[in-house]
Amino acid sequence: MPEVLKTLIIDQHPDAVASLRRSLNSFTSIEVVGDAGFGPVAATWAHTLEPAVVIVSVDEPINRSIATIQGLTRGNAPWTVIGLVSQFDREIFRRTVLAGARDVVLRSAPVSELYEALHQARHADTMRAMSPSPDSNVPTGSVISVFSVKGGVGKTTLATNLAVALAQETSASVCLVDLDVPFGDVALMLDLQPEHDILGAMDESVLDELERLQSLLVRTPHGIQVLASPLAPDDAGTLDGELVSRLLLRLAALHQYVLVDTPGSLTELTAASLDVAELGLLVTTPELTALRRTHSCLRVLQGLEFPTNKLQLVLNRVESKTRLSTAEAVEALGQPVTWRVANDYAAMQSAALGQPVVLSKPKSRLSRDIRGIAQQLAGVPTSRSRMMPWRRRRPAFGAA
């Protein structure tokens, strides 16, 4: 008799989840143990429920589903991932398998076909797992790098509040790393007086001992932990890019989310953060200088073959009368923009008080926008109206 497969469904459409549950529950050898949304929360629930199989719905936006599969299959994941697609598309099939899915099944196929795929894929993975890799110490958390190529665009405010919002929306363990050297402001924004900083982690022996690494973090009353930037700015030059990458991966072994506030330009440390990040949030504002630099940055990333599915643009401080309109900003960038965040002076007031705006001004437009980003990143069901369907209309800035 086949083993009973504990199954987790990843899909944010309640009707689709209910229909799939009914179909799978008709088999005595399949037990649906839960369902979750897309993003890092999928892996969080997988670690909690410990399913044998995870079924991921692969629908628009495709990049979201692909990133979810990549997160679920990172390292030696103990479960088998199956992609469920709505239509036959060779490119979608290819991307789904490359992301780590063991098999891909059409949603319209007979449920018996899905049943066979689940058991066959699980059996294949079980056989493969009989010779496990000796390196089982792999990170399970998600590294999210918040970066920009111009100062004053609100990058640190966004990173700090997004970290707090993620902790509140998911009750997950969240670590915020202040990599904005030499003058990082995260501790100031949160009214912290850290005794340790990131320099203490630039040691192989510390990176090899998670307890020592954890001791460098500052616990905050806001539900997150912080690794501060160098307390002595003159020492910032001693940070090593390779060690920073290792540090972020080690923190991902301790926390479900690791947010990184990077320097305000494309430096070695920014690159080190992006190299290991599951997602990079590129922050800009609707003003000419910021847009020009961001446009140039996008071209540099393209030249470096940075994966497009790992990059999301955040248009901050929108709708100010002194700036370009959202549509003009998107046209200038020549690139789809995923998120827009309102221009709100409550942020500056809260920062001055050492309080995250998502806590001190929870009903402000800025707070609602940041919470919307956190909910989407975590796969928490929410209104999709805050996601921007803005698309490129014509090249800008004379791009060749």
- Percentage above 70 pLDDT, the chain: 86
Tell me which of 282 and 94 has the higher pLDDT.
Answer: 282
Tell me which of 283 and 391 has the higher pLDDT.
Answer: 283
Residue 242 in this model has a pLDDT that exceeds 50: yes
- pLDDT of the residue at 388: 41
Specify the range with the lowest mean pLDDT, choosing from 30-44, 246-260, 376-390: 376-390
- pLDDT of the residue at 386: 43
For residues 72 and 150, membership in a common domain is answered with: no
For residues 168 and 94, membership in a common domain is answered with: no
Calculate the average pLDDT of the chain: 84
Q: Tell me the chain's radius of gyration from C-alpha atoms.
A: 22
**3-state DSSP of 158-203:** HHHHHHHHHHHHHCCCEEEEECCCCCCCHHHHCCCCCCCCHHHHCC
Mean pLDDT of 273-280: 91
Residue 52, SS3 per DSSP: coil
Mean pLDDT of 131-145: 61
For residues 154 and 95, membership in a common domain is answered with: no
- pLDDT of the residue at 335: 79
Residue 245 lies in a domain: yes
Q: List Cβ neighbours of 176 (8 Å cut-off, separation of 6 or more).
A: 159, 160, 163, 186, 224, 225, 226, 227, 259, 260, 261
Q: Are 400 and 351 in contact (CB under 8 A)?
A: no
Instruction: Report how many domains make up the chain.
Output: 2
For residues 108 and 244, membership in a common domain is answered with: no
For residues 102 and 157, membership in a common domain is answered with: no
For residues 96 and 166, membership in a common domain is answered with: no
pTM, entire model: 0.64
Residue 391 lies in a domain: no
Tell me which of 232 and 159 has the higher pLDDT.
Answer: 159
- pLDDT of the residue at 260: 98
CA distance 221 to 263: 25
**What torsion, rounded to 10 degrees, do the Cα atoms 329, 334, 336, 339 define?**
-30
Tell me which of 197 and 141 has the higher pLDDT.
Answer: 197
For residues 201 and 303, membership in a common domain is answered with: yes
- pLDDT of the residue at 326: 66
Distance of CA 189 to the CA centre of its chain: 22
**Edge-to-edge strands of the sheet including 279-284?**
218-219, 225-227, 174-178, 257-261, 142-147, 279-284, 311-318, 339-342
Per-residue tokens: 376: 């989407």
Residue 85 lies in a domain: yes
pLDDT band at 12 (very low <50, low <70, confident <90, very high): confident
C-alpha separations of 170 from 72, 83, 257, 329, 339 in Å: 17, 25, 10, 32, 20
Residue 95 in this model has a pLDDT that exceeds 90: no
pLDDT band at 182 (very low <50, low <70, confident <90, very high): confident
Q: Which domain holds residue 46?
A: 5-128
Eight-state DSSP code of residue 387: B
Tell me which of 331 and 52 has the higher pLDDT.
Answer: 52
- CATH value at residue 298: 3.40.50.300
- pLDDT of the residue at 216: 95
pLDDT band at 322 (very low <50, low <70, confident <90, very high): low
Eight-state DSSP code of residue 1: -
For residues 124 and 189, membership in a common domain is answered with: no
Q: For residue 362, which phi and psi values (nearest 5 degrees)?
A: -65, -20
Residue 381 in this model has a pLDDT that exceeds 80: no
Residue 345 in this model has a pLDDT that exceeds 60: yes
